[in-house]
Structure 1
Amino acid sequence: MMDPVVVGVDGSPSSFEAVQVAAGEAGLRGVGLRLVHAFGWPSMHLPPGGPPWNPAMAGVRELVDGTLIEAEERARRAVPQVDVTREVTVGEPLMVLEIESRTASLVVVGSRGLGAFGSLLLGSTAVHLTAHGRCPVLVVRGGPDPSGPVLLAVDGSPGGEAAVEFAFAEASLRGVGLVALHVWNTRSERAYEGPGDPLNAVVDIERLRQEEQQLLDETLAPWQERHPRLAVERRLVRSRVRPALIEATRDAQLVVVGARGHGGFTGLLLGSVSQALLHHAHCPVAVVRARERP
């Protein structure tokens, strides 16, 4: 049996939106949808009189049941044929969803939950899971273009191959084109162009451009062979990486990025580009970690 799509439900509007997206993903894959609620969810509004991890306390069971019933109804309205199961468990929600990710094909979460930190652009659950989840994590945010392509952020790093594979599969499942965007620049992060660029005096910009084009072509070639019918647009842009990628998400229905790319601090599990997209992308973001080698 294929692994299900898992979605975290905390009763917030963001999580209910995530449920609808997760139902669609489960329908595309032909797998079940698993609704997960953890007691101890940091955003959960619990009545006074007992510890938040005690599901037997007055009012909490009714609250959770009502939340999951609504979530299931939303899922079935979105995809009537989806097989929905519910899981209510005791535990810290970040750890619960991380454990769930070990047996899931995809974990879907909202970008913001309830609670004291609701004003943050991105909830702690989403950040934690994209850094530590064992399967791809889709964070629902922004206003995606339903007719837009899947956008793939190509960095050419060895760890990014899993993201490339996921993006090709996702575009095929959705029946849309794939835009593979590789943004390159100089180490200065300045996006000069033209003869006035001071770097042209010491750097062969055209040679660098050709090398970046080769990197893009070589990254995509094996996957285009496996998906010959998929329309793939290759974009090579010289600019600042994060702003260029964020701007490109305006016309996409999903952006796919690896958890970490070239550069940065090797100890970090989530790269700066991934974090920038999670906070500022105009469409949902799928973060795909490299497969762990045995």
Structure 2
Amino acid sequence: MKDEFGVVVGYEDSPSAREALRWGAAEAAVRRPAQRLVKAAAGWVRRHHSDVVVNTLTDRCTPGKLLVELSMDAELIVVGCRGFSALGGLMAGSVSGHVAAHATCPVIVMRGPAEARGARDVVMGFDSSRTCAAALGFAAGETVRPGGPLKVVIAYQNRGRGAGMQETRIQTEGLAWNELTLLERRFPDLQASVELVDDSARPALLEVAGKARLLVVGSRGLGEVRGLLLESVSQALVHQASCPVAVVHAA
């Protein structure tokens, strides 16, 4: 059962992990009253979200390996962008990157200052890959729960590539609108727009992250020939974006 563990939060005593805890607790509260947070600061959650059932777990396994294993039975994992190095002997940021790359459920990596959390937009980087379809569905759900707009960004660097690249951009835009039309049946209150950007994926998405509440990407894509999201792009966003980043794997 995929959601056996509900929302999993990887926690240790760092500012980024505390932000992950706050986000994960709020996710658990709105997804189902009986959601559980694993390896979290149970006392804080119980004080601020009394309807959330909290389970805690400690393990001598390295944090990245443990969280990837838990992802097989989790609905969502939330982690900070720094921390765990004293516990697991890993470089700061390596755990979040490892979990985002290898987990089987969506992973949210907390990035950016807490005071910047007032933004309402959810931004999603789209191409025609299978992971992007799953990521768009996740982004829609994250948009409608608290309310706010969804911006779908299609980034292709068209300079010097002629009419063929422009045709690819238009086709991808059509696919995005088709997916959004289907999602409106599940989320009738969804407010979405599609924006085409003449730039490569990494700089385009890093720029829009500055005004986003959450940036959502697929874990893999098709590359610059037919798409925009390579694994290296999602990893770059996890380590460099100025807002929280959700990495979604294909269902």
TM-score bin (small chain): 0.7 to 0.9
Distance 2:165 2:136 in 1: 27
How far, CA to CA, are the matches of 1:209 and 1:18 in structure 2? 35
Q: Deviations over 1:66-87 (max 9, x none)?
A: xx6xx22332344333222211
Amino acid at match of 2:110: V
Q: Percent identity?
A: 37
User: TM-score of the superposition, structure 2-length normalised?
Assistant: 0.84
Q: Please state whether the residue corresponding to 1:174 is helix, strand or coil.
A: coil
Instruction: Specify the SS of the correspondent of 1:83.
Output: coil
| 1:158 matched residue in structure 2 | 130
Equivalent position of 2:62 in the other structure: 92
Query: After superposition, what is the alpha-carbon deviation per residue over 1:209-236, rounded to whole angstroms, capped at 9, x for unaligned?
Result: 4334323323333223332221112112
- Which of 228, 231, 241 is 2:188 aligned to? 228
TM-score by length of 1: 0.73
Report the aligned-residue RMSD: 2.7
* SS at structure 2 position matched to 1:86: coil
Q: Is the 8 A contact 1:151 1:178 kept in 2?
A: yes
Deviation at 1:258, TM superposition (A): 0.4
Out of 125, 132, 149, the residue aligned to residue 177 of structure 1 is: 149
Give how far 1:147 is off.
Answer: 3.8
The separation in 2 between residues aligned to 1:99 and 1:82, in whole angstroms, is 22
In the alignment, which residue of structure 2 is the partner of 1:284?
244
Q: Counterparts of 2:71 and 2:84 in 1: how far apart (Å)?
A: 22
**AA matched with 1:98:** V
Residues 145, 251 of structure 1: 8 Å contact kept: no
What is residue 39 of structure 1 aligned with on the other side?
A: none
Q: 3-state DSSP class of the match of 1:104?
A: coil
Give the conservation status (yes or no) of the 8 Å contact 2:128–2:172: no
Tell whether 2:30 aligns with 1:32. Answer: no
Match of 2:76 in 1: 106
Specify the SS of the correspondent of 1:203: helix
* Contiguous gaps of at least 5 residues in structure 2: 225-229
Structure 1 CA distance, aligned partners of 2:207 and 2:189? Answer: 27
* Distance change >3 Å, CA 209–CA 123, structure 1 → 2: closer
CA distance in 1, matches of 2:135, 2:241: 17
Give the CA deviation at 1:118.
9.9
In structure 1, C-alpha distance between the alignment counterparts of 2:242 and 2:90, rounded to whole Å: 18
CA distance in structure 2 between the aligned counterparts of 1:7 and 1:205, rounded to whole angstroms: 41
CA deviation vs aligned residue, 1:137-182 (integer Å, no higher than 9, x gap): 1111113443411111111212321111111111122222211111
Q: Shift of the alpha carbon at 1:287?
A: 0.5
Q: Aligned-pair distance for 1:119?
A: 11
Give the Cα–Cα distance (whole angstroms) in 2 for the partners of residues 99 and 175 of structure 1. Answer: 32
Q: Report the residue type matching 1:163 in the other structure.
A: A
Q: Which amino acid aligns with 2:205?
A: L
Structure 1: gaps of 5 or more residues: 37-67, 187-191, 193-198, 265-269
**Contact in 1 for aligned 2:154/2:169 (Cα 8 Å):** no
**How do 1:106-125 residues align onto structure 2 when only pairs under 5 Å count?**
106-115=76-85, 123-125=93-95
SS in 1 for 2:37: strand
| Larger Rg computed on CA atoms | 1
Per-residue deviation, residues 22-41 of structure 1 (Å, max 9, x unmatched): 101111112423232xxxxx
Contact residue 145 and residue 250 of structure 1 kept, 8 A: no
Give the letter for the 1:289 counterpart. H
